[in-house]
Amino acid sequence: MKVNSVLTTTPLPKVGVPVRPSFGWEGPVGRWLLSAALAAAVAVPVGYEIRTSGLEARLLPQYAATLSYELASGPSDSIVFPHAGPFDDRRGYSRIGEFQSRLETQGFQVDRQMRFSPGLMRLISWGITPPYREPPVAGLVIRGQGGVPLF
């Protein structure tokens, strides 16, 4: 009669290699702790912001300081016009690009135009109205050769 024997051994850890505990971050306890820590990290600032608006008061002025524009001679190589809104439509601001194209086909040239900072261009492209002092009256003056008002 033959006897087959099977010998199994558990390999020993290598010398100098630390043995990890059975509950690491990948285990259920570790995942729960990580989830709880992430939830607290999100909830604390959100709760603080709801109560105080502290983050808003700190971040918005810093972002607003990067928004700028300046009037320079000649047409702007990159410009964004307002989309649509009650004042933009009523006063024609949303149609400036169309007006400019039609006037240029008639031989008119842009003498001066605003240059926007990249941050201001991004803000306007998102549909947010740029900060400006709105005049009580508005108008468009079209001047002919020699500066004579035509319209």
pLDDT for 9: 55
Neighbours of 9 (CB within 10 A): 5
Q: Which residue, among 78, 94, 76, 98, has the nearest Cα to 86 in the 3D structure?
A: 94
pTM: 0.49
Is residue 123's pLDDT more than 90?
no
Q: Residues 128-141: what's their mean pLDDT? A: 72
Residue 74 phi/psi, 5-degree rounding, is 85, 170
Q: Which residue, among 131, 132, 151, 126, has the nearest Cα to 141 in the 3D structure?
A: 151
The rounded distance, in Å, linking the Cα atoms of 40 and 54 is 18
Q: Residues 20-40: what's their mean pLDDT? A: 67
Is residue 26's pLDDT more than 70?
no
Q: Which residue, among 64, 60, 59, has the nearest Cα to 132 in the 3D structure?
A: 64
How is the chain split into domains, by residue range?
A: 36-63, 68-147
